[in-house]
Structure 1
Amino acid sequence: MLGAAAAGVLLAVLWSYEFVDHVIGDNVANTLLGHDAKATAISGVVAGLVFAFVSGLAGTFTACNIAMAASVGPMSQAGASGRTRDGLRGLLRPVALLAVGMVAVSFLYGFVGVLLGDRLPQLSTEVTAGMPVRLVQSMVVFGLIGLAFVWLGLAALGVIRDPFAERPAARVVLLGALVGGFLIGRPYPLFNKLFHWAVETGNPLYGAGAFVLQSLGNIVLVAVLFALIVVLSRGRFVYWLASRPTRTAAVTGALLVGLGIFTVVYWDVRLPAMFGHGWFPTMPYNN
């Protein structure tokens, strides 16, 4: 547990948002869309929905989304439970469980977000205490989500009572809901552009659909990674992980604690330090 927490702090120190947001994110979006994703206006509903999915995929490795990698452990556990151990169903069920929780939250936030519009701090251009208001919302949201990840990790490790000990599927659904909640705090420029477009349409259903596609884009690579692990190992990895409860708990708990700590430290310690509130160590390439 301490090793996972230390790894989370170290990742927060080493993280370069310039690299993942701009070098990776922008290049992926520009390549898939065939034009400058930031500079080109979104023209029409179809273009907006395509932009939503592509920008979600491009934002896979951003600091506001990387914690979803922690879902691989719980998904493996859910995939090896009950009658779903056989065939394609055992592969698809965990992905579907993750998507259920995620889609519910992203749909609701997209719908409500369009109705609230500029009243949301996330769309504000104001500054308070030298810090953009939209980033204050990010701090609050990701701080809470990070703590939720740590709580789930400690529960999986048996440090505290685990309400999902006999319900691994419910754990994955909750993780999906938390992943969907990433949108509530996301400051990613391409998502901000999508959000403004959705509000300008004035149609909450467009906002809901766009946010669902954004979230689905966010988990595509994790779903593919999970599928590759299952297929290439012919299911052995899932069975190996689930064959010993202590092994399952160790992998699941370490991922959740490590990435939960990263989320809290990055958004609630390192981010304020960038604006002169406190101090946090940086590297020469990310200060």
Structure 2
Amino acid sequence: MALRESPESPTPRRPVSPAPVELASPAPTRHGTAALVSAAAGVLLAVLWSFEFVDSVIGDTVANNLLGHDAKATAIGGTGAGLLFAFVSGFAGTFTACNIAMVASVGPLSQAGASNRLRHHLRSLLRPVGWLALGMVAVSATYGAVGVLIGDGLPQLSTDTVGGMPVRLIQSSVVFGVIGLVLALLGLSALGLVPDVFARRPVARVVLIGALIGGFLIGRPYPLFNKLFHWAVETGNPVYGAAAFTLQSLGNIVIVTLLFVVVVLVTRGGFLRWMTDPARSALVTGTLLVALGVFTVVYWDLRVPSIFGVGWFPTMPYN
């Protein structure tokens, strides 16, 4: 007689395999390390930076040679000379502390121009540069027109001091402090360490960075720009102010634009294809933005005030 299992008999259970343990992705840790190294590089750059060398030795020399006369001592004569001075002084001031952060735009430019099929290299080059210029010109032209209308009421044109520190440099500290924080935040978001609202909007990221580059003029204490600003105010024409500030900003990005174009052309589009890898693109973009964002904040909000006895910041013998 066949044996039957009683309903009360326990049903044999199959051994339950343990749930697979998901290993944490190394990307967040790697990107966190990259952010820390980039931030440290930004602080180190602020310590090593010599504004006398960059502003005077490089900036003045370039401007003097291109204009054919002493850029600081020679008066600006006429509208044409003023607009030429605007572009040349912007170009000469490319690597000043108030403009060096624009180098961080190389990563976002590559993202906006990246494509798996680069049949139209020229379009791939011009499109991201055009978006960068759009954001930049929108801010610089507006500030140029408004600056002429307000005139000497702007702290940027004042010779007053507060606690021994020029008010124009106080404006610089505030403006560049904000811009530096935004750049650093964009870098952290590109690295995936904070939410990235531009993850699927690389063009919007480039436009915003362009606007930040245009915003450099709002805090710029560069002597040649200060001379240009006074000239624009003296004309009393906001259109001249807008045009001059636009040319100043365009001069600021000539070198980084040419660098981007040369790299893409020399590699025959290989650089843009290389940047289509999301992890690689995020790392390049994020580290550049964090490093130069931190430099901007540390230099303008810690080092510059320390020159006037506000706080302390380490310096090198040559700076």
Are 1:162 and 2:202 an aligned pair?
no
Pairwise mapping of residues 74-113 of structure 1 onto structure 2 (< 5 A)? 74-81=108-115, 86-113=120-147
What letter is aligned with 2:170?
V
Task: State whether residues 118 and 269 of structure 2, in contact with CA within 8 Å, keep that contact through their aligned partners in structure 1.
Answer: no
Q: Which residue number in structure 2 is paired with residue 194 of structure 1?
A: 228
Counterpart CA distance in 2 for 1:85 and 1:226 is: 18
What letter is aligned with 1:277?
V
Task: State whether residues 84 and 93 of structure 1, in contact with CA within 8 Å, keep that contact through their aligned partners in structure 2.
Answer: no
What letter is aligned with 2:167?
V
Q: Which residue number in structure 2 is paired with residue 224 of structure 1?
A: 258
Give the TM-score, by structure 1 length: 0.98
Name which of 85, 107, 119 aligns with 1:51: 85
Name which of 207, 214, 228 aligns with 1:173: 207
Task: State whether residues 79 and 85 of structure 1, in contact with CA within 8 Å, keep that contact through their aligned partners in structure 2.
Answer: no
Are 1:3 and 2:37 an aligned pair?
yes
Counterpart CA distance in 2 for 1:239 and 1:15 is: 34
Name which of 269, 286, 292 aligns with 1:259: 292
The answer for unaligned runs of 5 or more in structure 1 is none
What letter is aligned with 2:188?
L
What letter is aligned with 1:267?
W
Q: Which residue number in structure 2 is paired with residue 61 of structure 1?
A: 95
Task: State whether residues 264 and 271 of structure 2, in contact with CA within 8 Å, keep that contact through their aligned partners in structure 1.
Answer: yes
Query: Secondary structure in 2 aligned to 1:159?
Result: coil
Query: Secondary structure in 1 aligned to 2:275?
Result: helix
Task: State whether residues 113 and 124 of structure 2, in contact with CA within 8 Å, keep that contact through their aligned partners in structure 1.
Answer: yes
Q: Which residue number in structure 1 is paired with residue 60 of structure 2?
A: 26
Q: Which residue number in structure 2 is paired with residue 206 of structure 1?
A: 240
What percentage of aligned pairs have identical amino acids?
Answer: 73
CA 1:167–1:81: 2 relative to 1, 3 Å: farther
Task: State whether residues 169 and 221 of structure 2, in contact with CA within 8 Å, keep that contact through their aligned partners in structure 1.
Answer: yes
Question: Whose helix proportion is higher, 1 or 2?
Answer: 1
Counterpart CA distance in 2 for 1:36 and 1:132 is: 25
Counterpart CA distance in 1 for 2:245 and 2:77 is: 17
Counterpart CA distance in 2 for 1:94 and 1:229 is: 14
Deviation readout 1:210-229 (Å, 9 max, x if unpaired): 00000000000000000011
CA positional deviation for 1:251: 0.5
Query: Secondary structure in 2 aligned to 1:282?
Result: coil
CA positional deviation for 1:238: 1.1
Query: Secondary structure in 2 aligned to 1:53?
Result: helix
4+ long deviations beyond 4 Å = 81-85
Tell which structure's C-alpha radius of gyration is larger.
2
Give the TM-score, by structure 2 length: 0.88
Query: Secondary structure in 2 aligned to 1:177?
Result: helix
Are 1:269 and 2:275 an aligned pair?
no
CA 1:267–1:249: 2 relative to 1, 3 Å: same
Aligned Cα RMSD in Å?
1.0
Query: Secondary structure in 1 aligned to 2:76?
Result: coil
What letter is aligned with 2:225?
F
Task: State whether residues 56 and 218 of structure 1, in contact with CA within 8 Å, keep that contact through their aligned partners in structure 2.
Answer: yes
Deviation readout 1:173-197 (Å, 9 max, x if unpaired): 0000000000000000000000000
